[in-house]
Structures are given as structure tokens and as C-alpha cells.
Amino acid sequence: MAAVKETVDQVRAIDVDQYKYGFETEIESELAPKGLDEDTIRFISAKKNEPEWMLDWRLDAYRRWLTMEEPSWARVSYPKIDFQDLYYYAAPKTTPAPKSLDEVDPELLRTYEKLGIPLKEQAVLAGVEGAKIAVDAVFDSVSVVTTFREELSKHGIIFCSISEAMREHPELVKKYLGTVVPVTDNYYATLNSAVFSDGSFVWIPEGVRCPMELSTYFRINEKKTGQFERTLIIAEKGSYVSYLEGCTAPQRDENQLHAAVVELVAMEDAEIKYSTVQNWYPGDKDGRGGIYNFVTKRGDCRGARSKISWTQVETGSAITWKYPSCILRGDDSKGEFYSIAVSNGHQQVDSGTKMIHLGKNTSSRIISKGISAGKSQNTYRGQVKVNRKADGARSFTNCDSLLIGHDCGAHTVPYLESANPRAKVEHEATTSKISDDQLFYCISRGLPTEEAVALIVNGFVRDVLQQLPMEFAVEAQKLIGVSLEGSVG
């Protein structure tokens, strides 16, 4: 039970109210003027040397956004956001486009080192830094560096920041951007369409199996900024890619906004595996500070037999509002959603998925594990919808919630809609506390209470942890232990 031991040690090793990524990088930044108007958007677009069509796209989104209302249906509450009191663009003042790591500000490199993100290819190759993973590092509003590009390009894979893709591969961006999450999709997606600053772009050519894990690491550093990243991943016919995403932010007593949009497109026989370990600063023990994480993630299984799999470990953020979804358009396509959402302190989580079955014999599987502790509120909200033409569709949902302590809440809000008799939709959910029997059993075998709780929690989330790439799984397991700190024993 090494992992359990580790979880417990981790919990012990830190004081209450600790967030190990809470440091701030002292670096000079260039900011857009505070507030949001058409000039801010022109400023962002100009900073990124964007083509004219892109600016028009953004302005159109902005004008639509002005007519929209903030959604209020989620089970989260927070003071009204003043969208004029934010910086919409912040970039470290360094060389505009570093050609190699040597040109990147050493302060930035030190930041990523502290975060444990391997940016030095040699080090990775030498096995010093663990597994071989290509990283796109996004710092506030810009992508700082993308590693292993050369090796990837040998396979014809494009992996770069989205700003670069707009300049280098406008035809691809134009073809796919906004086709999965339309500009008018929802309040935050529309805002993102207007002001997004950077993010990753991945294109896997036909028949290529991406030889390494791709990942993006998001870091918010600057005060009073909003981060609006945009990720677009396209897997052409018969290709495969596994993509990881990680996020952290400094510890501050103000709330910061993160409103990202992620679009995935899987063509015939293609497979995309998207894993997230979300560890934005969750706020302190009194609920001060923390990130508002309002994210729209959606995958489109466009081709027959395509597959999109979302795995998420959500431990951070003061507020999470996030529903990674799959549109199962191609016949025989598959969607999966595996989620662990841990909330502690004053965190509020409203997360889940949507599986929209359009094609024949499409299938979806949803496994969600929610753990609430402290004074947090944790909601699973998910929709499974079977269209009239989706003959033979199959969907299975299992969501379990675990409550630790008397002051938290766990909620389950599934929506099942079926308009096809040949479809089979199943849903099951349970909510309970850690079973006294299990606890008693563990304790009677000599485990201290704290260790017993960690063991049971690890068992509770095991189905989902197994879906993560190995390196991530170990990290995620530790993270869950840390997040529950102060709530066990």
C-alpha cells in the first residue's frame, strides 16, 4: 500500500491551508489596459499579429457577448464579476518568439522547474525528468515554449500555440475553430471567443499514432488577470493522441477568472484521450481567494468509430463550472467521461458531462466520483440525450458521492432523455459517507483511522485513476490526499 502511505505522509507533511504551487514569479509583464471594450480586443489581436478574419471573428463574438446574460442555473454562488476590473492580456516581457529554451527568460524556466514541469528536452531524454512528454507551457496569456516540436514534426504532427497556428496554419484553424463550441454557445465561451489569448493547437495527420503524450501546462501569475485559453485538437482519420492538461496559480486573496474553451475533433476511426489535472488555487480555509474556473470543453466524434475520452481530476479552483462533453455524431462512435472531483474548504464544484447520441450504435460511459469535505458543495450535473435516429445507442452512468464531515454537500443532477426505443440508457447514483463497516474493518486490522480513510478514498476513486496515464495517476493520487487534508481522521 505504498500509494496510501504516500497519501498519508503527504497529508501529514503539510500544514493546514497549504497549496504548494501558491508562489508568485517576479517577472515584468506587459498588460493590456484594464477593462474590456473593442479596443482591448484589437489590442490582443494586434499583439498576436493576427489575420484580419480573426479580429472580425473576435469582434463579432464580443458584440454577441454584450447581449448575453451570465448563466445562473449551476449550484454555485459568488459575488458578481466585474468584467471591467480585469486585465484581459498579460505577457512576460521577454523575447517575442524564443527559438530555443536558451532565449526563454530564466525566471520563467525556474517557475516551471518549481512546478515540476520538464521543459528541457535533453533532461527528459536523459531520463532525469521522468517520462517523455511534449509540453506547451502557457504563462498568463501567452505560450512560452513548446517542447519536442522537431521530433513531432517528423511524424507530421503539428503541436504549437494557437497564436502560432493562426499564423502558420490559418486554413486548419479557420476550418475547425468554433465548429465544436460555436461562438454563441454560452456566456463564457462567447467571452472566450472574443478575448482568448493563447492555448494549444494539435493536429494529428491521418493514420498517425502520436508517439508521446502531449501536454499543456497553464499557469496564471499576474494579479487581476483573467486567463482565457483556447485549445483545439484535431485527430484525422485513424490517428491517436493522448493529451494532458495541468493548471496552477499563485495564492492570492482575490478571485481570478479562468474561462477556457477546448474543442476536440475526431474523424473516422480516430481516438483522442484528454486528461486534466486541475489544481488552480482553491482559496484559503476561510474561502478567500481562488480561481473561478468556468470552462467549456467539448469533443465532436465526427467520424464513424471515433472515440473521445475525457478524464479529469478536479481538486483546485474556488468555483468549478465545467462539463466536458461528447457529440457522438459518427456511427459506432464512443464517448467516455471519467471524473474525480474533490472539494474541501469552501470550494464549490458543479461539474459533469453531456453525451449527445446522434449516430447509430453510439455508446457512452460516465463514471463520476465526487468527494466533498470541509464546507464545500460538490455537484455532478450530467446529460445523456439520445436522438430519434440513434438506433442501438447505449449509455451507462455511474456516479457516486462520498461525504466527509457534517458541513459539506453532495448533489447529483442527471438528465436522461431518450427518443429511441432501441437505445438503452442506464443511470445509477449513490451518496454515502465512508462506511462504518469498512472503516471498522481497516482499523481492526491495525490501520490508524487516517490511513484507513485514505485507503477507502483511494479505493473509491480507483476506477477513474486507472484511466489516467501512469505518471499522472501517481500525481493525481497524491493530489487527492493533499486536497482532503484537514478533513480526515
Partner 1 sequence: MEILAPTERRRTRAETDLETAFSSFVETYSGDVVDRAGAFARFSTAGLPHRRVEAYHFTDLRSMLASAPVPAAPTSRSAGGADLFVGLGAARAVFVDGFFRADLSDLSGLGDGVAVTTIAAGLAANDPALAALGGRVSADPAVERDPLVALASAFYGDGLIVRVAAGAVAARPLEIRHLSSGASVSAFVRHAVVVGEGASIEVIESHESPDGVEIHAHTLTELTLAAGAKAVWLDRQREGDQAARFSTLAVDLGKRAAFDHSVVTLGAKLARTQIFARLGEAADLSTRGATLVKGRSHADATLVVTHAEPHAVSRELYKSAVDGEAVSVFQGRIVVEKKAQGTDGRMGAHAVLLSDRAEAKAKPELEIFADDVACAHGATVAEIDETLKFYLMSRGIPAAETDKLLIRAFLGEVTDAIGSEGAREAIEAEIDGWIDARGDRT
CB of 72 to partner 1, least distance (A): 10
Angle between helices 38-47 and 52-66 (to 10 degrees): 150
53-63: burial string, b at 16+ Cβ within 10 Å, e else:
ebbebbeebbe
In this complex, which beta carbon is closest to partner 1, that of residue 3 or of residue 68? 68
In this complex, which beta carbon is closest to partner 1, that of residue 39 or of residue 417? 417
In this complex, which beta carbon is closest to partner 1, that of residue 67 or of residue 77? 67
In this complex, which beta carbon is closest to partner 1, that of residue 80 or of residue 445? 80
Q: How many whole angstroms separate alpha carbon 327 and alpha carbon 303?
A: 11
At 365, which helix (H) or strand (E)?
A: strand 363-373
At 334, which helix (H) or strand (E)?
A: strand 334-343
CB of 138 to partner 1, least distance (A): 32
CA distances from 192 to 65, 291, 360 (A): 10, 16, 33
In this complex, which beta carbon is closest to partner 1, that of residue 289 or of residue 352? 352
CB of 290 to partner 1, least distance (A): 22
Which string of DSSP letters, residue by residue, matches 224-274?
TBEE-BEEEEEE-TT-EEEEEEEEE----SSEEEE--EEEEEE-TT-EEEE
Question: The C-alpha cell of 246 is what?
Answer: 495541468
Which residues face 362 on adjacent strands?
A: none
CB of 14 to partner 1, least distance (A): 24
In this complex, which beta carbon is closest to partner 1, that of residue 48 or of residue 346? 346
CB of 280 to partner 1, least distance (A): 25
Q: What stretches of 142-183 adopt beta strand conformation (E)?
A: 142-146, 158-161
Find, among 124, 201, 132, the residue nearest to 168 by Cα.
201
Find, among 482, 340, 326, the residue nearest to 400 by Cα.
340
Q: How many whole angstroms separate alpha carbon 228 and alpha carbon 185?
A: 15
CB of 412 to partner 1, least distance (A): 4
Q: Is the dihedral of CA 228, 256, 248, 141 positive or negative?
A: positive
Looking at beta carbons, which pairs linking 124-133 to residues 24 or more positions away fall under 8 Å? 130/471, 131/213, 131/470, 131/471, 132/212, 132/213, 133/212, 133/213, 133/214, 133/215, 133/244, 133/471
Q: How many CB atoms lie within 10 A of CB 392?
A: 16
Q: How many whole angstroms separate alpha carbon 463 and alpha carbon 367?
A: 8
What is the binding site for partner 1 (CB under 8 A)? 63-64, 67, 73, 386, 388, 401, 403-433
Q: How many whole angstroms separate alpha carbon 306 and alpha carbon 324?
A: 17
In this complex, which beta carbon is closest to partner 1, that of residue 18 or of residue 398? 398
CB of 360 to partner 1, least distance (A): 14
CB of 409 to partner 1, least distance (A): 5
In this complex, which beta carbon is closest to partner 1, that of residue 339 or of residue 467? 339
In this complex, which beta carbon is closest to partner 1, that of residue 125 or of residue 419? 419
Residue appearing with cell numbers 493514420: 207
Residue appearing with cell numbers 515554449: 145
Backbone angles phi, psi at 320, to 5 degrees: -120, 135
In this complex, which beta carbon is closest to partner 1, that of residue 430 or of residue 466? 430
In this complex, which beta carbon is closest to partner 1, that of residue 19 or of residue 65? 65
CB of 301 to partner 1, least distance (A): 21
In this complex, which beta carbon is closest to partner 1, that of residue 194 or of residue 304? 194
Q: How many whole angstroms separate alpha carbon 354 and alpha carbon 366?
A: 9
